[in-house]
Amino acid sequence: MGRPPQIPAEKKTRIVLAVLAGELSIAEAARKEKVSEQSIGRWKADFLEAGKSALTSGRSGPSTREQQLEAEVTELTQALGEAAVEIRVWKKSAEGRLGPSRTSR
């Protein structure tokens, strides 16, 4: 017997909200959705913990993804600057060996 199909997060959220609102008991929701009561209990606990974490951390600072993107921008900017310096050095080196380039006249 295979695993039941995975339930999308949006549907889990609707089920948990219905349980929290008192529209359904965990047992009723489990029967209706053909999942175990433990699954719905876990979804509910995960939902509440995520909400608690969001309220505790607040939205005052950048998200983890924003921090990752900012770090990547900084790294790429630095790499671009280093590449530009290397190009200047190579051009100067080439001019010393070959004379001034036609584009620098």
Is the per-residue pLDDT at 104 higher than 60? Answer: no
Q: Is the dihedral of CA 61, 63, 67, 73 positive or negative?
A: negative
Q: What percent of the chain has pLDDT over 70?
A: 84
pTM to 2 decimals? 0.52
pLDDT at 94: 84
Rounded distance between C-alpha atoms, residue 19 and residue 41, angstroms: 10
C-alpha to C-alpha distance for 92 and 88, rounded to whole angstroms: 6
Tell me, what's the pLDDT at 22?
A: 95
- Residue 62 scores a pLDDT above 80: no
The proportion of the chain whose per-residue pLDDT surpasses 90, expressed as a percent, equals 61
What phi and psi, each to the nearest 5 degrees, are found at residue 21?
-80, -10
The pLDDT of residue 75 is above 60: yes
Nearest-CA neighbor of 33 among 16, 50, 51? 16
Per-residue pLDDT at 53 exceeds 60: yes
Q: Are 44 and 21 in contact (CB under 8 A)?
A: no
State the pLDDT at residue 93: 87
